[in-house]
A and B are shown apart, each in its own frame.
Chain A
């Protein structure tokens, strides 16, 4: 515990993990994670397949209750933005791209309220920001894989969350789309939002993410990206 220096305003923690173990039934997948995600940080979670990265995200979201330990979140679950790895979306369902994005307004409009003009503008801006303005009135089933991922990001933009959790956001996505989405993530970071992303491309993490958490059932390293990767090499774990 360090005392707060009056000149340096400490950022509050958005998510605090207190010796957390996660898993399903008897099977423990992630052990003893202890630490916090400070507000405004941009963290990559890396590790080998089956290291429990997605499980950790689900724990942070409150979708999975810890087997041991506690997770405290500064925000209610509905205020967290989440991009699941495998989209559960029924792609052949007849819904337009703009309506799909507008669903991101859920915390403001709920099941019954109308979409106010300012909110409608936010939806339009989100669609432009991901470059789908020409597809706004298309059915979601007509989009390519990359366009579909852009649309899911647009919904996160419309949602306007303070904490954003992304699970493998670039898997199976074309190069130009990755660049667009990376710009959006950097913009979120610049706006002071907390970004946590599960990724496997280490080069991409080194270039773009200031913080990294290396996970292989346990936390091998957690801190600024360069020293996290160095520490992990010292441990000698392969990932």
Chain B
């Protein structure tokens, strides 16, 4: 039975490649989500993923469906929007989330417009929703390289990044390391979203950043443990999503995103930290205490 469920990975090369791509994405993107969540910047991740689209589209418009052109285009567009949003936040009354939201709507429309100038609807679908079941060697290598660079860089900036998260005022006294760590972090985010859009598309590549991290916070408390848990959730969601997609015959990127979503919903309901169940248990204990008059 289990062998039968698992068999697509044993029998089909494209399923193994899809799994490998998802594992790389999980390792690279999920830990970033933990930081994004703790800084209450999850929507910024969403906005950034759309910001990549016009760059990728411009690469496509000029060079066709070319991996390097679309990746570099996406990377540049993402970095540009991150930079612009930073500038707008610093020099106007707009807050960071609002300025990101403004840029991402413009980017999304611009991207769709650029693709529709030349391509077919199939190409548009490829960019928006990815093609995780058709990953070739260069794409797989790119995804794996991005995961490697991302993990190494995150280790290097870990300490200033964490301190910048909970006490930015302290780091300002010590120099500019906090700002630098934040900038590197935003660059890593863009890099991972670019790595993800080939498999999941620009609309859903952010799923690997946001959903596993959001699920992990209901299981463990520390930053490091949350990152590790996020990777575990991401891997689990990828495997389930790919298998469901194969056996039921539905779109892979949607199946993966939905299974990540289900794991999030599960954690939200029954996880030991702050979930619906945990809140109920606490409330029940409180009521028992009130009824019996026993103090803890």
A interface with B by C-beta (< 8 Å): 61, 63, 77-78, 80, 82, 84, 88-90, 93-95, 100, 103, 106-107, 110-112, 139-140
Contacts and interface: CB of A to CB of B under 8 A. Distances in A.
Contact of A88 (B159, B169, B181): B169
Contacts of A106: 163, 170-171, 174
Identify which of B162, B166, B175, B226 gathers the most chain A CB atoms within 10 Å of its CB.
Answer: B166
A95 B158 CA distance: 13
B166 A93 contact: yes
Give 9 nearest A-B pairs by CB, closest first: A93-B166, A88-B169, A90-B166, A111-B160, A111-B159, A94-B221, A78-B174, A89-B167, A106-B174
B258 interface: no
A78 B175 CA distance: 7
Interface residues of B, number: 24
Contacts, number: 51
B168 interface: yes
A94 B173 contact: no
Interface in B45-88: none
A106 B172 CA distance: 12
Given A89-B166, A89-B167, A112-B159, 8 more contacts: A80-B173, A93-B166, A95-B162, A103-B170, A106-B163, A111-B177, A112-B156, A139-B221
A84 B169 contact: yes
A229 B77 CA distance: 62
A100 B159 CA distance: 12
A93 B38 contact: yes
B188 to A, nearest CB: 16
Interface of B: 38, 156-157, 159-160, 162-163, 165-175, 177, 181, 221-223, 226
17 contacts: A63-B173, A78-B174, A80-B173, A88-B169, A94-B222, A94-B223, A95-B166, A95-B223, A103-B163, A103-B170, A106-B163, A106-B170, A111-B157, A111-B160, A111-B181, A112-B159, A139-B221
Contact of B165 (A78, A80, A93): A93
A90 B167 contact: yes
A165 B163 CA distance: 21
Nearest to A81: B173
A111 to B, nearest CB: 5
Contacts of A89: 166-167, 169
A204 B20 CA distance: 66
Contacts of A84: 169
Contacts of A80: 173
Nearest to B156: A112
B172 A63 contact: yes
A26 B1 CA distance: 76
Nearest to B172: A63
A56 B272 CA distance: 48
Contact of A103 (B38, B167, B175, B226): B167
B169 to A, nearest CB: 4
Contacts of B168: 88
A78 B173 contact: yes
A234 B38 CA distance: 54
B61 to A, nearest CB: 41
Contacts of B171: 106
Contacts of A90: 165-167
Contacts of B38: 93-94
Contacts of A88: 167-169
Nearest to A109: B159
Contacts of B159: 111-112
A103 B160 CA distance: 10
A100 B162 CA distance: 11
Contacts of B167: 88-90, 100, 103
A106 B173 CA distance: 10
A137 to B, nearest CB: 11
A80 B170 CA distance: 11
A158 B159 CA distance: 17
A203 B175 CA distance: 37
Contacts of B173: 61, 63, 77-78, 80, 82
Nearest to B158: A111
A111 B167 CA distance: 15
A94 B226 contact: yes
Nearest to B220: A94
A100 B165 CA distance: 12
